Each structure stands twice: as C-alpha cells, then as structure tokens.
Chains A and B, each alone.
Chain A
C-alpha cells in the first residue's frame, strides 16, 4: 500500500530508454549535464529525450542558450551508434529553425557533422545528410558548406550511396549551387548528374535534372552540359511520366539552349516536338519551362522555321490562368515571329 510519507526514492521510470525530464526550466540544464556524462546509458537516454524535447521551437531557443550545441558536438564522435544517430537527429531538428542554423554556423558544426558522412551505419549518415541539407537551404549555411569544401565530397558520395541519401545530397547540392557553381563543376558534377538522369527513382531523376539546370547557369556549365551529352538525355526525359521530371528536364533544356551550341544540339536532338507537346501539360511549371525552352530555341532561324507552324498553340497559352505562363507565352510568340 502506498505510504503517505514522501519517498526519498525517485518515482519508477516508465520508459527505460529515456530520462525523465526535470520540471520546467531545469529540464534542459539537466539534460545538458547528462549529455556529458561518462556513463553510456545515461548519455543515450539523455539524447533520446532531448530529441523529443526539441520539437518545440521554444525549447530550441532555450536549449541553444544553455549550450546544447557544444555538447552535441562532442557527442558526434561518440563510439556508440545510438548516441551518434540521435545526436545528428537532434542537430537536424535544431537546423530546422533559423536560430538553430545560426548556431550551427557559430559553433562550426558543419565539419564535424560532415565527418559523419563516412560513418559505417546508414542511419547516422542519413541523419547527417538531413542536417546538412537543412543547413544548406539558407544562404549563409550554403556559403558555409561551400567554404568547408564539402561540395567535391558530396559529389563523390553521389556516385555510390543509398537512394534516399542520394536525394538528400542532390537537394544539398541544389542549394549550394545557387551560391557557387565553380567548385561543383570542377568536381565533375555534370557527369554524375547526367548518369543519374537514367535512375529508376523519379525523384532522383527530377532532382538530377534540376541540379543540371543549376549547374548550367554559368557559361562553363552550359558548355560542359553539351559536352557530357546531357542534352540528349534530357530530351528523352521530356516524355517521362512524372511531372516533376518533365518540368526540371524542360528547365534544364531551357538554360542550356541559351548558347548557340546548345541550341543546335537541342534542335538536332529533336527537342522541339516534345516541348511543343509539353506546352499543354497540366502542371504549370512544366508549361512555363517548356515555353521558355521554345523561346530560346526560336532564337535560331531553324527553330523559328519549325515553330512558326505551332504559333497558334502557343498563342492559346497567353490566356493561361497563371500569369507567369501568360507572359512567357507572349514573349515566345514575339520571338518566334520576329523578322531580322
């Protein structure tokens, strides 16, 4: 029978895998202390509880104040897998918020997390990639990643990693390339992306096409894309089932065909017909990108010749509900019917 006397022992732990939280604002300092404990079990429990606790944004602010970031940094090199995996997950959750991302950059957490890319366990790697991907979505974070010379590492990882992780890496590279494309080009990213265009997973194909689009923004990229025969692959992808893939493929084609070489490669590869088909696609992004690609192609006289037959189709698109598509259609019509 229960005593009325207040017991000196702690209440029984219901969940053995977690430490119970201390009350109110003692929770985080206590967790912080336990994270640096020498006993493995204590650390594991602490990090698991922390992971759940951090889903509340207010807690994240306080956690960063208490100094959880540096404790987690130490835990990244722990020998035990659970600790590593969970601590990267915590960092991923923290990185989902703006202050968390700032603290990432403050404590130079990018490089230790990046070291986990070579971890032997999948789940740790996945979480590490998730965290880095989250960081790269903001410009200072992407700059930090580029400065840390992670771009070549990531490109290498693309060649032989699990599919889920490939998706994450493609995302990360997409954001990094908004900041700086030179390093990615130097690391041979174009070839890797081109090879991924034929992957069986449609998300990977879509993201690879999008990354090719990003990489081709500078002139070097465009030339490289034509050299690596990416244009032919992209033209094939224009008939893909997934709308994402089609949209990104059209987008990549539209960027590459700005140069004369790109234009003629595309025209030779019979890009015009599929693009014309895509002008009436359901997804707005596909229509937009297809119209833009056709605009670029019509800069060349041969393109204009062929497209003059399809002008009415494009004219119909100027009444599209999406304003961007309307504008693109008008521009396309103007360019097609231009006489020197």
Chain B
C-alpha cells in the first residue's frame, strides 16, 4: 500500500506523515505489469536505494537544494513540475508502445501463467519468514576472549648447530684480527716513521749546523784577523808617518839653522858697526868728560851769567831810577816849555840811545872778560857768540822795557 503523500508537503518545510500500518504483504516476485502510479516514486514500499532516498541528506549541506521559504509554491516551479510530469507520462507511453507484447488473447480466453518444467513447483507469494529475537543478558560482564591458540598447521622440524657447522672460529677471526693488529701496527708505524723522519731531519740539521758553525767561525775569525791586520798596518803606517814627519822637521830645522847662521854671520859686524856708529861704544874718558865735566862747566857758566844778570839788573834798576828822575825833570822842563814838544821826544829818544850805548858798552866788557877764561874747546865759541848775541838782544830789549814802564808811569 502506498503512502498517501499530502500535496502541501512540497511547499515550505518537508514533512512526512503516514498512518501506522502493518507490514505489507509482499509478493515473492515482482509484478512486472504492475503500473506504478503517476508521479510517485515508491521509495518506502519497494526496495529503495538509500543513495537515492530523498530523506537522507548527503553531500554538502551548504550547497543544498533547499526548499523555498514561502509555503506557496513558486508559479514557475509548479509549471516546471507539471511539464516534467507530462514528459514522464509521454516517455512511458512511448516505451510501452515499443515493448513487444504477446498478442491479445482470442475472445473468450484469458492469458494465464503456466509452469512448464517437469516437476511442478508450488509458487506462492508468501515469503518464508522466521522470527528471530535477541536479547543481551543483563548485568553480565563480558567474559575474556579465550586465548586464541592457532591450530597447529604445518610440519614440525628440529635443527641443531654443532661445532664447526656455522663457522670455523680460527678462520673467521683471522681477518678481524688482521684488521685490528694491522690498524694498531699502522698507527704505531706512522708514529715511528714520524719520529724517524724527525730524527733524520734533525741529524741533517746538525750536520748542516756543524758546517755552518765552522764556516761562521772561520768567517768571523778572518774578519777579526783582517781587522787586526788592518789596525796593525794603520798603526805602523802612522808610526812611519810620524818618523817621516820628524825627519822632515829635523831636516828643516837643520836647514833653517844653517841658513840662519849664514844670514847672521853678516849681521854681527854690521850690528857692531851700526852700534859703534850710533855711539854705543864710547871712549870712557871722552864720555866722562862729556857727562861730568861739561855739565859742571855749564853750571858754573850759568852761575856766572846769573850773577852777571843780577848785577845788570841791579844796574839797570839804578839806571832806570836815574833816568826816570831825569825824565821827570825834563818833563817838568818841557811842561814849562811846551813849544818844544816834538823836540822833547827826540831829546828823550836821544837820551835813550845814549843810555843804551852806555849799557851795551858795560855788557861787552864783562863778556869779553869771561870769554877769555875757557879757551880750550872750540865748541865754546858758539856758546860764547850766542851769549853775546843774547846779551846784545837783552840790552835792546831792556830799553824797550824801560820805555814801557816809563810810559806807563
């Protein structure tokens, strides 16, 4: 029995309601001629693939084919559905027509299904049914699963390894031992080689150093030797030079001495000559006379002259007085007789001359007396003449002196 689906269920939300009913008596075999109702998909009565069951939502829920919100169906939707229905009917009709059918029965007869096998089978629509029920025991623990011991399958085989079966220890251990020993020996050989190499290098170095030291010493010794020899040479040369220098100096000295000697040989007589020319070699008597006698003589002369001088001065003084007095007298006379003015001057002049003549006469007499005394040296003549000249001058001067004081008076 098909469920009656209310038409309104297509609008708004999906609802389904069906009256409770008993399980349908289902036929054993499908009825091929059964015509399904138009527009209905018998999802509940017959077998339905849940993949195509509308009640189960599958797939994306956000791209779902949701039903419109309104309860009223869209007019377009309704139209479309009506069209789909019409098309389905048309399709079905077309299919039915194409299906081959058996020809219609003759009048009065009816087609009936008949079994044609040898043995007839009872066909019934009734499906064999059996009731099964199941109920767990309440409050019983689940017993542990029994130990699953696999049933023994296969064949039992035993084996035993006896000495020498697997491997021969001595043979097998040889390569391992070789490796171990080899590595150790290699390592130690390397170290020993290193040391040997070092020792060899050092040996070579030592040999080289020996030679080098020897050469170094040789070089330094030669240097030192050179230096010493050079210094020695220098010293010797210096000495030699000193000697040469001294020799030269001595030669020069000798030459100079000889030259000086010859030069001076002439010098002595010429010196003596000059000295004697200059009067350095004197006759002592002559000298004595010159040094001692003559000064004394001169002093005496001077004394004498002084005395003369004094005497003359006294005389002059006397004369002056006399003359002065006379002049006074004559002036007085002249004052008394002024017309004889110029005559007075000439008179005084004449008197002056006379006086001087008198004085000169007295001087010359005294001089000649003294001149007679020393008559030895000719050198006295000039002094004597000089003395007379002086005396001559002196009287000439004295009248002038007399004139002056007289005029002043």
Contact = CB atoms under 8 A, between A and B. Distances in A.
28 contacts: A52-B187, A55-B190, A93-B194, A217-B216, A251-B217, A254-B217, A255-B213, A255-B216, A255-B217, A255-B220, A258-B221, A284-B210, A285-B210, A288-B210, A289-B214, A292-B214, A292-B217, A292-B218, A292-B221, A295-B218, A296-B217, A296-B224, A299-B221, A324-B210, A324-B211, A324-B214, A331-B218, A340-B232
A285 B223 CA distance: 23
Nearest to A262: B224
Contacts of A284: 210
Interface string B172-196: 0000000000000001001100100
Interface in A196-228: 213, 217
Interface in A311-335: 324, 328, 331
B198 interface: yes
A96 B225 contact: no
A340 to B, nearest CB: 8
Interface string A46-66: 000000100110000000000
Contacts of B214: 288-289, 292, 324, 328
B288 to A, nearest CB: 80
Interface in A17-50: none
Interface string A150-187: 00000000000000000000000000000000000000
Interface residues of B, number: 21
Contacts of B232: 340
Nearest to A55: B190
A71 interface: no
A258 B228 contact: no
Contacts of A56: 190
Contacts of B211: 324
Interface of A: 52, 55-56, 93, 96, 137, 213, 217, 251, 254-255, 258-260, 284-285, 288-289, 292, 295-296, 299, 324, 328, 331, 340
A186 B223 CA distance: 25
A258 B194 contact: no
B217 A258 contact: yes
Interface string B192-214: 00100010000001100011011
Q: Choose among B205, B213, B223 the residue with the greatest number of A CB atoms under 10 Å from its CB.
A: B213
B224 A259 contact: yes
Contact of B198 (A96, A259, A289): A96
B187 A289 contact: no
Q: Choose among B198, B220, B232 the residue with the greatest number of A CB atoms under 10 Å from its CB.
A: B220
A295 B216 CA distance: 13
Contact of A295 (B187, B191, B206, B221): B221
Contact of A299 (B198, B206, B216, B224): B224
Given A258-B220, A288-B214, A299 B191 contact: no
B225 A55 contact: no
Sorted from nearest, which 9 A-B pairs have the closest CB atoms? A55-B190, A258-B220, A292-B217, A258-B224, A254-B217, A55-B191, A285-B210, A296-B221, A258-B221
B228 A299 contact: yes
Contacts of B221: 258, 292, 295-296, 299
A295 B219 CA distance: 12
Contacts of A254: 213, 217
B190 A251 contact: no
Nearest to A218: B220
A177 to B, nearest CB: 12
Contacts of B225: 299
Contacts of A285: 206, 210
Interface in B208-247: 210-211, 213-214, 216-218, 220-221, 223-225, 228, 232
A52 B191 CA distance: 9
Contacts of A251: 213, 217
Interface string B33-51: 0000000000000000000
Q: Choose among B191, B205, B214, B223 the residue with the greatest number of A CB atoms under 10 Å from its CB.
A: B214
B292 to A, nearest CB: 83
B232 to A, nearest CB: 8
A55 B187 contact: yes
Contacts of B223: 258
A328 B214 CA distance: 8
Q: Choose among B206, B211, B216, B221 the residue with the greatest number of A CB atoms under 10 Å from its CB.
A: B221
A285 B220 CA distance: 19
Nearest to B206: A285
A137 B225 CA distance: 33
Nearest to B190: A55
A340 B224 CA distance: 15
Contacts of B205: 137
A55 B185 CA distance: 12
A288 B213 CA distance: 10
A289 B221 CA distance: 13
Nearest to B207: A285
Given A96-B198, A254-B213, A299-B224, 17 more contacts: A55-B190, A56-B190, A96-B194, A217-B216, A255-B220, A258-B221, A284-B210, A288-B214, A289-B213, A292-B214, A292-B217, A292-B218, A296-B217, A296-B221, A296-B224, A328-B214, A340-B232
Contacts of B217: 251, 254-255, 258, 292, 296
A110 B205 CA distance: 23
A285 B214 CA distance: 10
A324 B209 CA distance: 12
Nearest to A175: B205
